[in-house]
Amino acid sequence: MNVYDFDKTIYNGDSTEDFIIMCLKRRPALILRLLRCGISFAGYKAGLCSKTEFKEVMYRFLRDIDNIDDWVEEFWDSHLNKIKGFYIRQQKDDDVIISASPEFLLRDVCGRIGIKHLIASRVDRHTGCYLGINCCGEEKVRRFRKEFGDAEIDKFYSDSLLDAPLARLAKSAYMVRGDEIIDWPSR
């Protein structure tokens, strides 16, 4: 099986950032909720809160959107073209996407392009509250093992060295930089 990070790996950009921008364009008043992110981000950088806690503050804007599923569908209607060609060309039936982005945002696109296995951050799409730990770093390994046990990863692709724990599990790992795919720097 091949395992892929999502943002900046098979998606050209950061889907969460793009989704937030779309939401702000549709409802500019959401900026008031998002302004609180600056304070929370400073707290995260200073070690006063976890990444999960910071992101929970960021996602509080979801409380102001009644029909979030419609917004997600509309988002993917206009952003599906940002799935990178290299992925579409090599896609396999047993691929796994594992991402720190919220599951509610990625579930739709995975269904559209035929990805059956998604592991992502569990965020309540109505409240912005996390239903677990942000799915990054070692948490990706923990979640992968919980889902697939000792299954082998043939190839792993990511844009970030934060995914080194998963890269170490793979037979081969690759760093994705835009449209360039190179061997993982070191495992």
Query: What pTM, to 2 d.p., does this model score?
Result: 0.93
Residue 140 CA to residue 115 CA, distance in Å, equals 18
- Indicate the pLDDT class of residue 114, thresholds 50, 70 and 90: very high
Residue 141 CA to residue 31 CA, distance in Å, equals 34
Residue 43's pLDDT is 84
Residue 141's pLDDT is 98
What are 8-58's pLDDT values in tens digits? 999 999 999 999 999 999 999 888 777 777 778 888 888 888 888 888 888
- Fold for the domain defined by 2-183: Rossmann fold (3.40.50)
Residue 50's pLDDT is 85
Nearest to 174 by CA among 156, 160, 150: 156
Residue 54's pLDDT is 87
Residue 132 CA to residue 126 CA, distance in Å, equals 15
3-state helix, strand, coil in the chain (%, to 5): 50, 20, 30
Count of other CB atoms within 10 angstroms of residue 149: 7
pLDDT at 137 over 70: yes
Residue 187's pLDDT is 56
Describe the strand order of the beta sheet including 117-121 as a list of residue ranges: 117-121, 96-102, 2-4, 153-158, 170-177, 180-183
Residue 39's pLDDT is 78
Residue 70 CA to residue 93 CA, distance in Å, equals 27
User: Cα angle vertex 120, ends 133, 116, to 5°?
Assistant: 150
What are 140-164's pLDDT values in tens digits? 999 999 999 999 999 999 999 999 9
Instruction: Indicate the domain borders of the chain.
Output: 2-183
Residue 155's pLDDT is 98
What are 56-89's pLDDT values in tens digits? 888 999 999 999 999 999 999 999 999 999 999 9
